């Protein structure tokens, strides 16, 4: 084994020191660093070729104390400690890695839940009966958390919440007030611009839901409908759905509700869509109401819980979030892995059968600028899967803009292809061989098959499958198509 120099120029293919015994992915090879006497120097490097699945598994060896950098996620840890425990991540469906107008502060497509420096969780304690919510001293005291259930004009039940030193609480909603950790806006389907994301009236609650995570192993995360406002209160008005439980405690639902869906078989190659349920303010699980704002609650589901699993979907009536656990993220492809797959396709120099020009998938930063290199941009005929470059051959004189494929004469939509760049949506590390219809986002076969069978909430009563990268409703018999290139590139 040859020795490597301890000095490298920036022009050479080098990898910076990252830690003793830590594997790094580099051109399909795992490099093992040797730290001599604790100094950050380059020693012998032992290499071996690994498969796509092993490349993902290599991430497991990283220590739990490490987490994604602030520069990559826009995430600011809740404590200055270097070693910080990561509970998991919430990722908004319908965005291909970032917001069209940029990730800023608490408004972004991804929110990482870290263990807080000090516990901020709360739990229900005692309940009081008051003539009005304002008459209760507990409600007026901003240092206390409370939930108010208005039964009538003359009677309100106020449940006092006390500090829970064993849990951390994270709140999600449309409000930009300080209690909200993750600001969520309504998702607009399609390839969005900043102007597209503006909606006249949002259906997402200002304080939509809260997630409570146990600070001690196994760091179980639970979701509850509604979040505490700036006065540390939750108000369920007279018209809100509420009831008294068998143990005489109160519970209720928010106006448009918070829905969750746990995948069956885990979030991986064999996962299947589960059943959508509604979660209550106290964490109870119920069957869906006839419509989101219907005052009649669904049936209590005793054998299901509000515990989040890797791959659980959370719908806030306007935006759907995907929960990825810390353990699940270790099996997920990285941005670097997806970029390497893109480079592998481009390195094979696929050609357009008509123009005979070389095709190339654009980088992440240029996926919305198709017009810059239209001739190299890959396009696909959605009804047959043949990949071409941009050309004017086979245009049909109809309003749909359909084209006739020159390879097989099939007539259908003709759209540009984009890489699916959000790793959290992938269920495996397979090659990008399939594309969603009609948007053209490319991902692995198993990823396409999973999302094509998931009915995502739409509006107050509808469900339909949609592309996770842009939220466009899927079309066609399957909702996706296998890509067929002119030359063999392993697809």
Specify if 359 maps to a domain: yes
Same domain, 294 and 382: no
Tokens 């002119």 label which residue? 486
Same domain, 114 and 202: yes
Q: 150 and 184 in contact (C-beta within 8 Å)?
A: no
Tokens 């997402």 label which residue? 204
Give the pLDDT confidence of 144-153 residue by residue, as tens digits: 999 999 998 8
Confidence of residue 63 (pLDDT cuts 50, 70, 90): very low
* DSSP secondary structure letter of residue 326: H
C-alpha 315/C-alpha 270 separation (Å) is 23
Q: Which helix (H) or strand (E) holds 480?
A: strand 480-482
Query: For the chain, how big is the Rg over CA atoms in Å?
Result: 25
Give the pLDDT confidence of 296-313 residue by residue, as tens digits: 999 999 999 999 999 999
Query: First and final CA of the chain: distance in angstroms?
Result: 36
Specify if 9 maps to a domain: no
Residue 413 has pLDDT above 70, yes or no: yes
Between 123-132, 235-244, 482-491, the lowest mean confidence (pLDDT) is in: 482-491
Same domain, 343 and 325: no
At residue 99, the pLDDT reads 78
Hey, which residues does 443 pair with through a beta bridge? 434
C-alpha 351/C-alpha 359 separation (Å) is 6
Q: Which alpha helices (H) appear in 77-179, and where do they start and end?
A: 137-140
- pLDDT mean over 108-119: 96
C-alpha 210/C-alpha 228 separation (Å) is 8
- pLDDT mean over 72-98: 72
* DSSP secondary structure letter of residue 335: H
C-alpha 144/C-alpha 373 separation (Å) is 58
C-alpha 310/C-alpha 93 separation (Å) is 15
Structurally, the chain folds into a number of domains equal to 2
Residue 44 has pLDDT above 50, yes or no: no
Residue 431 has pLDDT above 70, yes or no: yes
Residue 404 has pLDDT above 70, yes or no: yes
Same domain, 354 and 381: yes
Specify if 290 maps to a domain: yes
The number of angstroms, rounded, from the C-alpha of 177 to the middle of its chain's C-alpha atoms is: 23
- pLDDT mean over 469-482: 96
Specify if 17 maps to a domain: no
Same domain, 265 and 384: no
Q: Provide the domain limits for residue 198.
A: 74-329
* Stronger pLDDT, 394 or 255, i.e. the higher one: 255
Between 18-22, 448-452, 479-483, the lowest mean confidence (pLDDT) is in: 18-22
Query: Could you tell me which of 328, 352, 463, 350 has the C-alpha nearest to residue 405?
Result: 352
Specify if 438 maps to a domain: yes
User: Last residue of some domain: 308, 329, 350?
Assistant: 329
C-alpha 146/C-alpha 127 separation (Å) is 9
User: Last residue of some domain: 310, 329, 348?
Assistant: 329
Task: Report the percentage of the chain scoring pLDDT > 90.
Answer: 62
Tokens 């107008």 label which residue? 101
The number of angstroms, rounded, from the C-alpha of 45 to the middle of its chain's C-alpha atoms is: 36
Q: 156 and 136 in contact (C-beta within 8 Å)?
A: yes
Specify if 35 maps to a domain: no
Same domain, 342 and 262: no
Q: Where are the beta strands (DSSP E) in 107-257?
A: 110-114, 121-130, 145-152, 155-164, 167-173, 182-183, 209-214, 221-225, 233-236, 242-244, 250-252
Q: What is the mean pLDDT of the chain?
A: 82
Give the pLDDT confidence of 204-248 residue by residue, as tens digits: 999 999 999 999 999 999 999 999 999 999 999 888 999 999 998
Same domain, 355 and 470: yes
Same domain, 380 and 246: no
User: Last residue of some domain: 303, 329, 355?
Assistant: 329
Same domain, 426 and 281: no
Global pTM value:
0.81
At residue 296, the pLDDT reads 95
Specify if 110 maps to a domain: yes
At residue 192, the pLDDT reads 59
At residue 149, the pLDDT reads 95
Specify if 202 maps to a domain: yes
* Stronger pLDDT, 197 or 81, i.e. the higher one: 197
Give the pLDDT confidence of 190-200 residue by residue, as tens digits: 865 555 556 66
At residue 434, the pLDDT reads 98
Same domain, 315 and 400: no
Same domain, 140 and 251: yes
């Amino acid at each position: 084994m040859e020795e490597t120099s301890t000095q490298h120029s920036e022009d050479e293919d080098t990898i910076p020191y990252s830690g003793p015994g830590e594997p790094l992915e580099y051109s399909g090879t795992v490099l093992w660093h040797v730290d001599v006497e604790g100094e950050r120097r380059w020693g012998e490097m032992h290499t071996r070729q690994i498969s796509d699945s092993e490349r993902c598994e290599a991430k497991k060896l990283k220590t739990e104390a490490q987490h994604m950098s602030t520069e990559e996620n826009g995430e600011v840890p809740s404590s200055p400690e270097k070693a910080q425990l990561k509970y998991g991540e919430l990722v908004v469906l319908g965005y291909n890695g970032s917001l069209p107008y940029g990730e800023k502060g608490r408004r972004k497509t991804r929110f990482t839940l870290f263990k807080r420096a000090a516990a901020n969780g709360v739990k229900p304690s005692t309940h009081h009966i008051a003539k009005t919510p304002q008459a209760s001293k507990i409600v007026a005291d901003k240092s206390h958390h409370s939930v108010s259930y208005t039964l009538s004009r003359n009677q309100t039940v106020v449940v006092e919440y006390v500090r829970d030193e064993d849990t951390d609480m994270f709140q999600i909603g449309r409000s930009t007030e300080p209690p909200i950790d993750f600001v969520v806006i309504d998702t607009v389907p399609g390839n969005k611009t900043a102007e597209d994301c503006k909606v006249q009236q949002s259906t997402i609650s200002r304080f939509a839901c809260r997630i409570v995570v146990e600070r001690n192993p196994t760091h179980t995360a639970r979701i509850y409908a509604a979040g505490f406002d700036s006065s540390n209160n939750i108000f369920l008005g007279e018209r809100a759905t509420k009831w008294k439980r068998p143990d005489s405690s109160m519970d209720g639902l928010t106006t448009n509700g918070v829905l969750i869906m746990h995948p069956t078989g885990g979030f991986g190659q064999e996962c299947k869509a589960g059943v959508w349920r509604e979660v209550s303010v106290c964490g109870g699980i119920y069957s869906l109401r006839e419509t989101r704002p219907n005052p009649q609650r669904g049936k209590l589901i005793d054998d299901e819980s509000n515990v989040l699993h890797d791959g659980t979907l959370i719908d806030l009536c306007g935006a759907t979030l995907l929960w990825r656990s810390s353990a699940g993220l270790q099996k997920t492809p990285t941005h670097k892995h997806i970029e390497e797959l893109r480079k592998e396709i481009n390195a094979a120099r696929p050609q357009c059968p008509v123009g005979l020009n070389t095709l190339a998938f654009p980088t992440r930063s240029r996926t919305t600028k198709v017009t810059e290199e239209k001739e190299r941009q890959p396009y696909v005929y959605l009804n047959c899967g043949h990949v071409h470059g941009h050309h004017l051959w086979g245009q049909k004189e109809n309003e749909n803009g359909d084209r006739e494929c020159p390879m097989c004469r099939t007539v259908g939509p003709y759209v540009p292809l984009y890489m699916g760049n959000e790793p959290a949506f992938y269920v495996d590390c397979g090659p990008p061989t399939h594309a969603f219809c009609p948007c053209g986002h490319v991902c692995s076969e198993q990823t396409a098959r999973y999302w094509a069978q998931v009915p995502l909430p739409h509006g107050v009563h509808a469900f339909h499958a949609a592309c996770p990268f842009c939220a466009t409703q899927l079309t066609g018999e399957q909702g996706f198509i296998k890509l067929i290139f002119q030359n063999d590139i392993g697809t």
